[in-house]
Structure 1
Amino acid sequence: MHVRPAEPGDAEAVLAVHEAAIAEGGPRAYDDAVVEAWHAGRSVDDYEFDGDDTFLVAETDEGAVVGFGTALPEHRDHLAADVDGEVTALYVAPDRADAGVGTLLLDALHESLREQGAATAACWASANAAGFYERRGYEAVTTHRHAFADGVEGDVVELRTGL
C-alpha cells in the first residue's frame, strides 16, 4: 500500500470509493434522507486534480485505489477553529476500513500541510468519522449543521489538531 498524488485518470476509482464509503458508513450516523442527499449528484467531474489543494490517493500494490484525501494549507471562513490548514476530505473503501488506509492518508495529508507551512489543521467530519480523527489526536471544537443537498441537513463535527 502506498500514497501518491491523485491524477485525472483516478476520477472513476475515487468516485467509487467515495460512494461506497458513504453507503457503508453514512447509515451508522445519519438517517436515509441524509445519506441519500450525501450521495446526490456525485460524478467524476466533482474531483479537481490541478487545484491549490493536496489530493492524494491510497493505492494497493496491484494499482487499485482504495482511499483518497484532500487538504488545503489555509484557514477558511467556515472554520470555527483558528488553524493554518484544513483536511477537506478523507474516504476509504469499506473493505479496507480498519486496515490503516485512513491513517496512512491522514499522515500524508498532515505531512503535505507541514511542508506548506501549516502548524495546525482542522476538519469537518461526518458524525460517523469523528471518532477516527479523535483517535489520531484531534479534539472536537464544535458541531455544525451542514446542508448535504436538496435542503437536507445533518450534523458534522469540527475538529482540530496540531501538526
Structure 2
Amino acid sequence: MYFTRRTAYSLRAVLLASTGSIIASIAAAQTPSCPPGPTIDQSRSLVVTDGALDKTKFSFANTMNAILTSLQIQTTAENRENFVKSLLTSMNDDDMVNPVSGLRMKVDVRALEAGLDPKNLLDPADPVGLVPIALFNRLDLAPQ
C-alpha cells in the first residue's frame, strides 16, 4: 500500500476533527464552576431610588445646612444662597489652584451653570430646583 497526497489530507482531516472533539470534551469537563453569588441584603443596599427616599430629609437645602454647620456657619436662607452662589461663581474660572499642592490647573468655563440662581436651586418646587433622586449608602461607614 502506498501513501498518496490525497490519503495524507484525508487522514489529516480525520485526525484534526477527532482532536478538536477531544479537546472540546476535555474543555467542557474542566470548565470551572462558579460558586453562587452572595445574597444581597436590601436593607444595606447601595442606592435607594424608590418611594422610601425621604426627599425632605435629604433636600439640597438640608445638605447645604449640614455643610454650613460643619463649618460652624449659621444656617440661614441668606447663608445657604451665598454659599451656593460661591460654588456657582467658581464655574466662571478658567483655571484654579489646588490649595494643597499649589498646582495651577486649567478648567472649562461653565457659563450656563454659573448663571443659575441659587434661590431657585434651593427651592424643590422650582422647575430648576434640585431634588434628591437617589440616596447612596455609605457602606464603608456601616457597622460590620
- State the TM-score, normalizing by the size of structure 2: 0.24
- Structure showing the higher helix proportion among its residues: 2
Structure number with higher relative contact order (C-alpha < 8 Å, ≥ 6 residues apart): 2
Greater Rg by CA: 2
